Structure 1
Amino acid sequence: MGNGNRNADGGTRTFPEHVDVAIVGSGPCGAAYARILSEQRPDLHVVTFEAGPLLADPPGGHVKNIADPDERARAQQRSQGPAPAPPDGRLARPGTFLLPDGHTAQGEDGLPNAAMSSNVGGMGAHWTAACPRPGGAERIDFVAGLDQLLDEAERLLDVDAHAFDDAPFAAEVRKRLAGALDGKRPQERGVQPMPLAVRRDPDGRLTWSGADVVFGEATRNNPRHTLAPEVLATRVLVEQGHAVGVLIHDLRDGATHEVRARRVVIAADALRTPQLLWASGIRPAALGRYLNDQPQVVFAVRLRDVAAGPGERTEGIARHSGVSWVPYTDEEPFHGQVMQLDASPVPLAEDDEPAPGTVVGLGWFCAKDVRAEDRVEFDDERDDAYGLPAMQIRYRLTARDHAAIEAARGAVRRAAEALGEPLDNEPRALALGASLHYQGTVRAGRENDGTSVCDADSQVWDVRGLYVAGNGVIPTATACNPTLTSVALAIAGARHIAGNLPAEGR
């Protein structure tokens, strides 16, 4: 990927003094900026900085594509930040690290399972790859051409809704779910296969999309794009209301460098993007506010009245056999992800091994009651493990949120009753933060009225040339997986840069 591949491992590194575009963060949204700029403006010099290490070749690949389990585990461990916190009873997923403290303020619900990843590809190296489209109130009505942007996001992510169509019992699962749940739903929001960022080869092998797929050959073959891993951006440089570069810290040798840029894109995540803006003295009223997670209800069942068909069980790990989608609607403001598994997520008798696809995990995600009071704050007197202002989450569930969670429990029960026999006593709500779908902290807005951080093109109000990217830009209360939407917004921002940045010297 330009000089980035040649400088990716070992040796003394040099950094450009000046580029056209500096991107901070190499997850799917940072990769989308690099891809669109490589396709539409190959004349521009672009650098992507990533605080975490390079895990795979091509850079940004999904860890599920690493065949060797020991190598995969090492890649996950290397993604867990500079000082991983002990779980302390919290949900710690491989490839992520929990916010060590500050996740819950006294007397509040907090986000005890708030987690991040630090690696080339970001959370895109570890995600479930679900790419449903938003519907109803999830959609952002002031973003022009949203459906075309979502189409383009599907191209960059290599989305396929039919990779698991022939999975054992997949059609039967969707038939039973539709009978129980579709009812008054619009046809386009009925039960259907889950769109997934995955490619299935003729031999049946699956390749899951990470940021490597979003970068694509256009970026990897672009000699004017550089990927620099293990480089921490510590400050956005601003002069006379315009972003003019970034201050970076080389985590390999400890050196600090100033890189001037005509445009700067901060594409970290919904916690670290506002953190970097805060550390840079860029503090609009809405920064860090409107934080929202998706409360999650889970259950598991075993299909009834099905005969075991052909198929091999995967030993030692519950893998997807088929994935179905129950879309969000305004009348039922939650989103269902129904995964058939090759093994049970709960212990079964040794002589009672399920056939592939007969154990079904149900996960319902609820749209949050979005409020300015829900926020991440930053402490100028205390640093985190990266030396940036430490975080404090302020977060509460409202009465409306509790009602939505109970309604989701009811929907999960109806789905479970239609499918088979429960493997748990009751659906349970996971601790907040478990969804990893944090949004809203650098939200886009229609106008600069203090309730948003950036405009519809993701350019920060009052700081020209500075763009933000990631799930934090999404301003609506969503229940669906947010990556497709956030990549669509990144595409809009990248197009804005491509169309408005004059060639050097003009």
Structure 2
Amino acid sequence: MTAQLSADIVVIGSGICGSLAARQLAAKGASVLMLESGPRIDRGLIVSNFRNSPRKADFMSPYPSSPWSPHPLYGVVDNHYLEQAGPYPYKAQYIRGVGGTSWHWAAQAWRFVPNDFRIQSLYGVGRDWPISYDELEPFYYQAEVLMGVSGPVNNGSPRSKPFPMEPVAESWAQKRFREQIAPLGYDLIVNTTARNSRNYDGRPACCGNNNCMPICPIDAQYHGGIAAQSAEHAGVKLVENAVVYRIEADAAGKIAAVHYYDPNKQSVRVIAKQFLLAANGIESPKLLLLSSDDKHPQGIANSSGMVGRHLMDHPSNKYIFETEEPLWPGRGPMSPGSIGKFRDGEFRKQMAAARIDLNMPSQVAPVAQDLIKQGIYGKALQEQFQHRAARQFSLKSVTEILPDPENRIVLSDNKDAMGIPKPRVHYHMSDYVNRSMDMLKPIYAEIIKAMGGTNIRSNPDGVYDNNQHITGTMSMGNDPKNSVVDAWGRTHDHENLFIASTGVMPTAGTCNSTLTAVALALRTASKMGAAS
């Protein structure tokens, strides 16, 4: 017989969005049950895994994938959990475990700029949001306080209140980069991050370990594991290793229950008054599509046929070069600053907006590996290693991609170990992105020349890196015919089902998606709890 649980509100997914929304709902007096498909994550174990991993650049290698809740892995062997339908590869990385993917993020917590919410009205491209920047601004600030966010005042996003704390002190390399590009008219803005510059919320200040990805060893950087812990402290009951495989609707169209498997594939039915789907932009649409029935043949919340569509991320063209003077990147945060000059403007009518991001992870490992691969050893190895590790820098773009219904998540015919269909991704790149990448080429060249750059390498034309900012697939909007949820995150089809995820974002802008998703989740939670 199937076991049964109940609560006022069930939250599916314990990532940063689900956990902070659950925390807020519990504070309002609701009984909240949060279901997480993966296991609990121990920070000490992950730090040890990273220290012992031979693949330091593979940010997923410290995070094991469980048989009952697999996540995509592309290391030594691709586990083919996220199937590629092409024509362009979209190898998204995410963690299925308590706290979710922000365990290994860079903690960049940028706000959108106001015009990002109305690019269709202003520039004739993409989609307008059903809410404005001003409507989301109080929730942006609420998220920043919870996460401990710092940043510069003048970064293109108006504020009603100052940041909770001052930015982390900049490194010498960051300072010299700013000085050398200033004569070109480019301002290096300190990145807005959820990283402590002083003791905050019981956690220490950043001490510059420079492995923010895949794990901050001292929790100076906020992540979903901290959020999940705060939810439990607020009274939320968390069930880990609970793989939700079906959302059940009643005859009237309300959601009656969700069903999950434990690792032994024993099924549990969970009933509630309201439900909040808070998995990411791949796992959430997968679950909605899995939950088809006679009355909902396309899946739950999918009368529009839009579930899974409009998948977005931020394609990048990375430039690696060696500076004229030794700057020793690898001290302080891995991603300390950005050039924001190209985040908005009339050019968006023709090409994508972009942010140029300064990357400063330690170059010791990649330089050593490259030299050894070339067969260099002995004194030459020592000399070349010392020269290059002190000078190797990289820049990359965080480039907007427009919502396109053909970029989408569907169900595969292949199944995982629990018998659940895997997600399959259709993805392509547009000329709107390609034109932006071409526009940035002379900008990169100008900056690299100012740094005395040599040994310059970049992506081949038309081949871009993925930033792991999974956005779209369950877009919010006012029209039930072309969107999945309304302006509050409530599904158009089911009055007691809400979604809190990067997946509800109609456009991607030029900033990492987490802060905006958390702000939306808090806004959705403020609407929940009332009679359905």
The TM-score normalised by the length of structure 2 is: 0.76
Say whether the 8 Å CA contact 2:72–2:92 is kept in structure 1.
no
Structure 1 residue 110 displacement after superposition = 4.0
Structure 1 residue 134 displacement after superposition = 1.4
Say whether the 8 Å CA contact 1:343–1:354 is kept in structure 2.
no
Matched, 1:329 2:344: yes
The residue type equivalent to 1:377 in the other structure is V
Aligned to 2:509: 478
Cα distance in 2 between the residues matched to 1:157 and 1:299: 31
Cα distance in 2 between the residues matched to 1:394 and 1:343: 34
Question: CA 1:482 to 1:81, structure 2 compared with 1: closer, same or farther past 3 Å?
Answer: farther
Structure 2 alignment gaps of length 5 or more: 119-128, 152-165, 198-203, 209-217, 293-299, 372-380
Aligned to 2:526: 495
Cα distance in 2 between the residues matched to 1:428 and 1:83: 35
Cα distance in 1 between the residues matched to 2:499 and 2:69: 26
Deviations 1:318-363 (A, max 9, x none): 9746611222223471122212233354446422426998543212
Say whether the 8 Å CA contact 1:457–1:493 is kept in structure 2.
yes
Structure 1 alignment gaps of length 5 or more: 1-13, 183-189
The residue type equivalent to 1:49 in the other structure is L
Matched, 1:170 2:174: yes
Superposed CA RMSD: 3.4
Aligned to 2:200: none
Aligned to 2:88: 109
Structure with more strand by fraction: 1
The TM-score normalised by the length of structure 1 is: 0.80
Matched, 1:241 2:278: no
Aligned to 1:125: 103
Say whether the 8 Å CA contact 2:322–2:388 is kept in structure 1.
no
Cα distance in 1 between the residues matched to 2:61 and 2:327: 39
Aligned to 2:33: 47
The residue type equivalent to 1:413 in the other structure is A
Percentage identity across paired residues of the two chains: 20
Mapping for residues 72-111 of structure 1, pairs under 5 Å: 76-79=62-65, 82=68, 92=75, 99-100=80-81, 102-105=83-86, 108-111=87-90
Question: CA 1:484 to 1:98, structure 2 compared with 1: closer, same or farther past 3 Å?
Answer: farther
Deviations 1:108-128 (A, max 9, x none): 2242x2333211111111111
The residue type equivalent to 1:194 in the other structure is N
Say whether the 8 Å CA contact 2:46–2:63 is kept in structure 1.
no
Aligned to 1:192: 189
Question: CA 1:104 to 1:350, structure 2 compared with 1: closer, same or farther past 3 Å?
Answer: farther
Q: Out of 389, 393, 409, which is 2:425 matched to? A: 393
Cα distance in 2 between the residues matched to 1:371 and 1:435: 18
Deviations 1:61-95 (A, max 9, x none): 9956x6982499998242466587997xxx5499x
Deviations 1:388-409 (A, max 9, x none): 3333322222222221222233
Aligned to 1:6: none
Structure 1 residue 231 displacement after superposition = 0.8
The residue type equivalent to 2:238 in the other structure is L
Mapping for residues 96-495 of structure 1, pairs under 5 Å: 99-100=80-81, 102-105=83-86, 108-111=87-90, 113-139=91-117, 141-143=129-131, 145-161=135-151, 162-180=166-184, 182=186, 190-200=187-197, 201=204, 204=207, 207-215=220-228, 217=230, 219-223=231-235, 225-239=236-250, 240-251=252-263, 253-281=264-292, 282=300, 283-284=302-303, 285-305=305-325, 320=333, 323-327=336-340, 328-330=343-345, 331=347, 333-344=353-364, 345-346=366-367, 347=370, 349-351=381-383, 352-353=385-386, 358-379=391-412, 382-428=414-460, 434-448=466-480, 450-495=481-526
What is the aligned residue count? 455
Aligned to 1:187: none
Structure 1 residue 484 displacement after superposition = 0.8
Say whether the 8 Å CA contact 2:130–2:476 is kept in structure 1.
no
SS at match of 2:476: coil
Say whether the 8 Å CA contact 1:170–1:357 is kept in structure 2.
no
